[in-house]
């Protein structure tokens, strides 16, 4: 938005004559905007008309041309918008980016932005071409993020599904600082403990499934999954069944980047270059109703996808299978919401063959689906579960592998020569646990679990309104997590050819419109912070609609 005024010079097409004007720095605008008479006086003529989306979704058409702009001692030909007479000259975010300038809001001045270099940092899931035009963030507030140029973005995925209570919560920064001043760190290995970790473990047991009994604290979702896999195998080792080591995992799943979590992940892209993967992981079908190979064309789901798990257990031998792992709702795999009977059937199968069920609630935990934890929707309780992300709303790293009384009793009764030899240096970090307690308090006090249902319904209503477009195949979601899948042919559900790069193009178009999110294939995914405002949800839908039209046409 408008922050402060600066002096700029506008030049004619030949850069021979310049006029000085005072312009407001407005990072809510895209380009430089000047009164039409000023531009025409300098011989600048429009070469096209463009439609701009204004505040509230209002659309306006304006003439657009090119003129020389001199700013901070640098001259450059840039796009200019012909504005109505008497309107305030503006400098927009794209112009600032072209000049390599950002804003210092407090000092109210323009500042050079250092060139972003790739020399010293390897980013997660990295390829150099994906990082040619990075956004460099400087601050966040609520459901909004701001870059070095001061441009505002709606955080359409809570960054990475994790900033549940929104950005800029001073109370979380304050509690972290308070705890660090009192006790920044202490060893949580056997024989030691700290008060925040004790309190958080107790609090978690009051929120999770009744079957749960204890937690091993970790630092990330990947670590939590790794720990859960090891706990499952360790449990059977204590039961004198050391041959029960196999893990049944599903296609389309994402469980993390550590070695065991990668092996459990059902997206082949994450396996390339890291093989051979650990053995004893068995892949089965998942519940993807829109593209189910079992029920295509059927009137209703037969739950054959769940029965695939039973077939795999029988084929491998139940005496060799330790656990089945699954996300209650797939996140990175495309926001795949299962058929209502799916998880009860999986639980029944695991019980029949004495196989543990691990619920990966790293994304779905702490209110994302409109319940504290997602399996509550279907009345199912797991034997182990993983949590991370929203446990602290990502203000500091923290995660946990939580497990049942049956498993905890076995660990407590283990002989000394079979002690549990797993852990992490920062497990139960006191500052992280203090932040988690305060974060959970915010979720409770502000009713954010219930709010996820309200805002989620608004989001889904907006997405469903786009289903009239011929390339919108399916809308799906649960609570405040949703996906919209684009298709080349809705009647056959045929996907686009990968060469068309529909997903990446959608991301780029939405970014232009100030909304950040992710895609999986041609599915556009959404999970904004639980505190997202109704008007921001509407802006997400508006940006999505415009992006679909830009990529797919009418």
Handedness of CA 374, 395, 129, 269 (dihedral sign): negative
Give residue 150's pLDDT. Answer: 80
Determine the Cα–Cα distance for residues 317 and 537; give it in Å rounded to an integer.
Answer: 48
How far apart, in Å, are the Cα atoms of 258 and each of 10, 147, 263, 459? 55, 31, 9, 33
**Buried/exposed 397-418: b ≥16 CB within 10 Å, e otherwise:** bbbbbbbbeebbebbeeeeeee
Give residue 502's pLDDT. Answer: 96
Q: Please write the tens of the pLDDT for every residue from 189-208.
A: 999 999 999 999 999 999 99
Per-residue DSSP letter, 271:
T
Give residue 497's pLDDT. Answer: 94
Cis, peptide link before residue 273, omega less than 30° from 0: no
Burial of 280 (0-12, 13-18, 19+ CB in 10 A): middle
Give residue 549's pLDDT. Answer: 96
Cβ count within 10 A of residue 141: 12
Half-sphere exposure of 252 (CA within 13 A, CB side): 22
Determine the Cα–Cα distance for residues 40 and 38; give it in Å rounded to an integer.
Answer: 6
| 301 Rama class: left (phi>0) / alpha (psi -120 to 50) / beta | beta
Give residue 209's pLDDT. Answer: 98
Q: Has residue 22 got a pLDDT over 70?
A: yes
Domain residue spans of the chain: 2-112, 208-433, 448-552
Any idea which architecture 208-433 has in CATH?
A: 3-Layer(aba) Sandwich (3.40)
Q: Spelled out in words, what is the top-level CATH class assigned to the domain 448-552? A: alpha beta
Q: CATH topology of 2-112 equal to that of 448-552?
A: no
Determine the Cα–Cα distance for residues 368 and 452; give it in Å rounded to an integer.
Answer: 6
Q: Please write the tens of the pLDDT for every residue from 346-361.
A: 999 999 999 999 999 9
Share of the chain above pLDDT 90, in %: 77
What is the Cα gyration radius of the chain?
27
φ, ψ at 382 (rounded to 5°): -85, 175
Cβ count within 10 A of residue 330: 28
Q: Please write the tens of the pLDDT for every residue from 253-296.
A: 999 999 999 999 999 999 999 999 999 999 999 999 999 878 76
Q: What distance lies between CA 97 and its chain's CA centroid? A: 26
Mean pLDDT for the chain overall: 92
Is pTM beyond 0.85 here? Answer: no
Q: Has residue 172 got a pLDDT over 80?
A: yes
Q: Please write the tens of the pLDDT for every residue from 392-409.
A: 999 999 999 999 999 999
- 2-112 CATH fold: Cathepsin D, subunit A; domain 1 (2.40.70)
Q: Please write the tens of the pLDDT for every residue from 308-323.
A: 999 999 999 999 999 9
């Amino acid at each position: 938005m408008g922050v402060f005024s600066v002096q700029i010079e506008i030049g004619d097409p030949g850069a021979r004559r310049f006029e000085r004007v005072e312009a407001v720095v407005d990072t809510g605008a895209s380009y430089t905007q000047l009164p039409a008479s000023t531009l025409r006086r300098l011989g600048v003529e429009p070469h096209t008309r463009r439609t701009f989306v204004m505040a509230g979704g209002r659309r306006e058409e304006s003439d657009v041309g090119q003129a020389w702009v001199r700013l901070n001692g640098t001259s450059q030909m840039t796009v200019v918008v012909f504005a109505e007479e008497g309107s305030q000259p503006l400098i927009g975010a794209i112009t600032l980016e072209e000049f390599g300038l950002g804003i210092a809001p407090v000092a109210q001045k323009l500042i050079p932005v250092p060139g972003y270099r790739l020399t010293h940092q390897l980013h997660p899931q990295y390829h150099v071409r994906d990082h040619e035009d990075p956004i460099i963030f400087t601050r966040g507030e609520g459901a909004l993020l701001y870059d070095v140029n001061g441009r505002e973005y709606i955080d359409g995925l809570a960054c990475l599904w994790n900033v549940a209570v929104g950005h800029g919560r001073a109370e979380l920064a304050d509690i972290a600082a308070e705890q660090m001043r009192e006790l920044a760190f202490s060893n949580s290995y056997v024989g030691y403990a700290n008060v925040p970790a004790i309190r958080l473990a107790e609090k978690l047991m009051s929120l999770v499934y009744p079957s749960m009994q204890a937690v091993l604290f970790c630092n990330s979702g990947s670590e939590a999954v790794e720990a859960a896999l090891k706990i499952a195998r360790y449990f059977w080792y204590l039961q004198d069944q050391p041959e029960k080591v196999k893990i049944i995992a599903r296609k389309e799943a994402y469980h993390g980047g550590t070695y065991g979590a990668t092996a459990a992940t059902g997206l082949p892209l994450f396996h390339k270059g890291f093989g051979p993967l650990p053995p004893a992981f068995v892949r089965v079908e998942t519940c993807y109703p829109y593209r189910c190979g079992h029920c295509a064309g059927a009137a209703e789901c037969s739950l054959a996808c769940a029965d695939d798990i039973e077939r795999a257990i029988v084929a491998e031998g139940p005496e060799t299978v330790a656990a089945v792992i699954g996300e209650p709702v797939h996140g990175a795999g495309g926001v795949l919401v299962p058929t209502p009977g799916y998880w009860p059937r999986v639980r029944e199968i695991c019980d029949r063959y004495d196989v543990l069920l691990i619920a990966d609630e790293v994304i779905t935990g702490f209110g994302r689906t409109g319940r504290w934890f997602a399996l509550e929707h279907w009345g199912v309780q797991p034997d182990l579960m993983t949590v991370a992300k929203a446990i602290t709303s990502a203000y500091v790293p923290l995660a946990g592998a939580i497990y049942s009384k049956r498993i905890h009793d076995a660990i407590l009764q283990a002989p000394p020569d079979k002690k549990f030899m797993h852990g992490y240096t920062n497990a139960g970090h006191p500052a992280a646990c203090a932040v988690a307690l305060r974060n959970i308090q915010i979720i409770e006090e502000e009713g954010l679990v219930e709010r996820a249902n309200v805002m989620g319904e608004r989001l889904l209503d907006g997405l469903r309104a786009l289903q009239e477009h011929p390339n919108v195949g399916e809308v799906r979601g649960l609570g405040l997590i949703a996906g919209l899948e684009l298709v080349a042919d809705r009647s056959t559900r045929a996907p686009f050819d990968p060469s068309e790069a529909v997903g990446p193009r959608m991301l780029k178009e939405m970014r232009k419109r100030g909304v950040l999110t992710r895609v999986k294939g041609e599915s556009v995914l959404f999970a904004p912070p639980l505190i997202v405002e109704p008007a921001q949800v509407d802006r997400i839908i508006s940006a999505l609609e415009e992006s679909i039209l830009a990529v797919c046409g009418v």
